[in-house]
Amino acid sequence: MSKRPRRNHTSAFKAKVALAAVKGEKTLAELAQQFDVHPNQITQWKGQLLEGAAGVFGRDTPEAAASGVDLKSLHAKIGELTLENDFLEGALTKAGLLSAKR
């Protein structure tokens, strides 16, 4: 018995299968046979659909507020700190306090 190669399903296919499972017109075994996926996979996709359903109607979660971080200022800070580190590394190397081997 050979193993089946790993398959990657599209999000549209996952949504279709999960919606069919939510409807409840067929059993998990029937859906698994119809869509050629494992029943546990259908249960997992159904759970993901139900968890994410609230996000369809709005972004009232605290996560949405946290995503409003100003990336431009963070990138500027990273560049500033990198420049500072490079300068200090060069100064310490010249002073003999930092070995050249790193």
Q: At what angle do helices 11-23 and 28-35 cross, to 10 degrees?
A: 150
Q: Rounded to an integer, what is the distance from CA 83 to the centroid of its chain?
A: 31
Q: Place 55 in a pLDDT band, splitting at 50, 70 and 90.
A: confident
pTM: 0.54
pLDDT digits (tens, 9 = 90+) for 60-100: 655 555 566 788 999 999 999 999 999 999 999 898 887 75
pLDDT top residue among 44 and 5: 44
Neighbours of 79 (CB within 10 A): 10
> CA torsion angle for 36, 44, 48, 3 (degrees, to 10)?
-50
- Residues 6 or more apart in contact with residue 31 via CB below 8 angstroms: 17, 20, 21, 39, 42
pLDDT for 4 equals 77
